[in-house]
Structure 1
């Protein structure tokens, strides 16, 4: 009997302990579930707050209030520490707020984690340029070009290389800038807009031949591209390639007759082609043009002599040359003597150059003859 009583007591104790254990377990589970729910709710609330502050930062930047955006992004990061998009936004906001040193240091910190990030290196290049650190800017630009990009990496790298070329032009580093531009042109798809951009930039780096190549490339794919026609025509005119300029400007004016600048330049081009005593002309026509040009230059000399001190050395020498019998050589004499033709042309060109220095800038036909004179001097010979 005593044994049964002990067994029953033991069973009751075990049952009570089991109930207690199960109760504690259930309470623990409930507390865990409640804690987990509260934690997740708290985390979700923090995420929502971070997103809300980030959106405020975006709105502040759009409203051109970068300082306010800095505060918003800092607050967003306090709710979502280490969120890369917010960190990048904060760094950009610092840069837009003019807090260059802070932005630079912030981006440097971000770069330590991702040294090959194209976007971060691009931002550092721009900030280094703002800090007048030319070598640093170039290094970061190159790191950006060869870095990692999300999305259309080829286009982004091309855009960065163009930006680098523009920066090098500002730094007067025309040789390296030209190299970057030619790399872009060599790797780019057929894109007339890009070709025109490259042509304009190549002009700035003193590469007119390359510039003309890209203008012509644009016109191959878009023969009616008004910008390419106009700018290529003006470039050809500046280079002294008046036949090419005429063809391009005629097309430009035909498609846009209301463009006064193109129309005026076309008229100048036609006139200068009438004045050029080209060696490719038949002798009678070449001599006729020399005589027309000589009359224009003589009138310019007469007008200049009346308002200037001819006793000056350069003008005195020019006056003596106009008094020489060769200055009035007849058509027949010129026609049969190529040396007299060259001497007459030299007198014409020297007159236009020297009178422009002593009597002000020429106009009309004299201005066109001055262009021919300067072109002749550059080429080291006559037209």
Structure 2
């Protein structure tokens, strides 16, 4: 009997094992299915949460953009910071927050955001431009120039050429304000190479070249503009002024006359034209005039210089820069030479005209240092001295 019971128990255990083995695949399938369903459910919840966070961040961002456009900077800062709660590393949100902070003149906070953004994308044009402006406001010229250069050659999301041009114009203005004319000239030449034929742009370039004292390029830009708009009084005046500074007085006269015809109230151009005409009329070195006319101009110049001496006390000697030199002063020289400066005296002595004009030029230069810039005929003679120094009659 015991053996029979043991065999029966053994058969029951074997039966239970067989039943478990038949049920195990079914259980594994069920567990796997439940696991998949659970993960899908969790992923869906996570996605829904992220979508909700993104939507909330976007909603706050759009409010910030509206406030920033309306120059409500405090509200914009609040909006962008709320947006960043839902997307802490969002590059666009941080950039616009920096813009709003700059609108409130909170440069230190804005700079912190911008420098972080620059580390992430050093080729971003707007980030470089804002960093350049901050450095310029702090009078940190080397840093400002570097960031402006980076902005000029950086990547812009839209209207790339326009944005680069505006960045370069800001740099040029900064250089001109700081009297860095050589650097400004180099930047202007680079800007002019990419300029189109729009007269307004060409006029702006001409004006900037004038401020940088690059008169040759200024004339070129004004003349290019006049090809499209030949009757623009402002452009004609600019071209005349640039030619005047280049001592190209015949060309200056041409442009200034046209400028005044089109805008008679331009007092500056009228004064330059008056001086230009006197230079052209009083210059004894001009070609195609008779010897008699040349002698007459020398005599008139000599008399004008003498009158200038009577109204301007010049220190003894005629050293440049106020440094006296030994020998007769200018008044004594003029008085000693005066009896010889006659039509007959000039005809008899071929070198006398050069001697007289040399003294005239020294008088005009020295009196301009001692008594300030001359006007009228004295200014014309001073300009002729710069134009003709070293020339022979």
Match of 1:74 in 2: 81
Q: Over residues 181-203 of structure 1, what are the superposed CA-to-partner deviations in whole Å (9 max), with x where a residue is unaligned?
A: 11221222212222222222223
Instruction: Please give the residue correspondences for 1:362-377 in structure 2 after superposition, counting only pairs within 5 Å.
Output: 362-376=374-388
Instruction: Give the deviation of 1:345 after TM superposition.
Output: 0.9
Match of 1:252 in 2: 259
What secondary structure sits across from 2:157 in the alignment?
coil
Q: Is residue 99 from structure 1 mapped to residue 106 from structure 2 by the alignment? A: yes
TM-score when scaled to structure 2? Answer: 0.76
What secondary structure sits across from 2:265 in the alignment?
coil
Pick from 124, 127, 149 the counterpart of residue 117 of structure 1.
124
Matches of 1:51 and 1:177, distance apart in 2: 40
Matches of 2:119 and 2:334, distance apart in 1: 76
Matches of 1:366 and 1:265, distance apart in 2: 14
What secondary structure sits across from 1:324 in the alignment?
helix
Q: Which moved more, 1:245-254 or 1:195-204?
A: 195-204
Q: Is residue 199 from structure 1 mapped to residue 206 from structure 2 by the alignment? A: yes
What secondary structure sits across from 1:257 in the alignment?
coil
Q: Is residue 52 from structure 1 mapped to residue 63 from structure 2 by the alignment? A: yes
Instruction: Give the deviation of 1:121 after TM superposition.
Output: 1.6
Instruction: Give the deviation of 1:43 after TM superposition.
Output: 6.2
Q: Residues 287, 53 of structure 1: CA spacing in aligned structure 2 closer, same or farther, 3 A cutoff?
A: same
Matches of 1:264 and 1:91, distance apart in 2: 50
Q: Over residues 213-249 of structure 1, what are the superposed CA-to-partner deviations in whole Å (9 max), with x where a residue is unaligned?
A: 2222222222122222112212222332211111001
Matches of 2:183 and 2:367, distance apart in 1: 39
Matches of 1:382 and 1:153, distance apart in 2: 56
What secondary structure sits across from 2:268 in the alignment?
helix
Pick from 324, 342, 348 the counterpart of residue 330 of structure 1.
342
Q: Is residue 189 from structure 1 mapped to residue 201 from structure 2 by the alignment? A: no
Q: Is residue 140 from structure 1 mapped to residue 160 from structure 2 by the alignment? A: no
Pick from 239, 248, 253 the counterpart of residue 246 of structure 2.
239
Q: Residues 41, 244 of structure 1: CA spacing in aligned structure 2 closer, same or farther, 3 A cutoff?
A: same
Structure with greater Cα Rg: 2
Q: Over residues 148-185 of structure 1, what are the superposed CA-to-partner deviations in whole Å (9 max), with x where a residue is unaligned?
A: 11222122222222322333334444333322211221
**Aligned 8 A contact 2:128 2:148 in 1:** yes
Matches of 2:387 and 2:284, distance apart in 1: 13
**Aligned 8 A contact 1:334 1:340 in 2:** yes
Number of residue pairs aligned between Structure 1 and Structure 2: 344
Q: Residues 159, 358 of structure 1: CA spacing in aligned structure 2 closer, same or farther, 3 A cutoff?
A: closer
Which structure 2 segments of 5+ residues have no match?
1-37, 319-323
**Aligned 8 A contact 1:50 1:80 in 2:** no
Q: Over residues 349-378 of structure 1, what are the superposed CA-to-partner deviations in whole Å (9 max), with x where a residue is unaligned?
A: 2222333444555433223223333444xx
Instruction: Give the deviation of 1:90 after TM superposition.
Output: 0.9
Q: Which moved more, 1:314-323 or 1:122-131?
A: 314-323
Matches of 1:361 and 1:142, distance apart in 2: 40
Instruction: Give the deviation of 1:323 after TM superposition.
Output: 2.6
What secondary structure sits across from 1:98 in the alignment?
coil
Pick from 130, 139, 159 the counterpart of residue 152 of structure 1.
159
Match of 1:277 in 2: 284
Match of 1:88 in 2: 95
Q: Residues 187, 325 of structure 1: CA spacing in aligned structure 2 closer, same or farther, 3 A cutoff?
A: closer
Q: Is residue 294 from structure 1 mapped to residue 302 from structure 2 by the alignment? A: yes
Match of 1:180 in 2: 187
Matches of 1:43 and 1:311, distance apart in 2: 81
Matches of 1:160 and 1:246, distance apart in 2: 36
Match of 1:14 in 2: none
Matches of 1:275 and 1:91, distance apart in 2: 62
Match of 2:357 in 1: 345
Matches of 1:341 and 1:365, distance apart in 2: 18
Match of 1:266 in 2: 273
Q: Which moved more, 1:80-89 or 1:274-283?
A: 80-89
Q: Residues 177, 367 of structure 1: CA spacing in aligned structure 2 closer, same or farther, 3 A cutoff?
A: closer
Q: Residues 141, 223 of structure 1: CA spacing in aligned structure 2 closer, same or farther, 3 A cutoff?
A: same
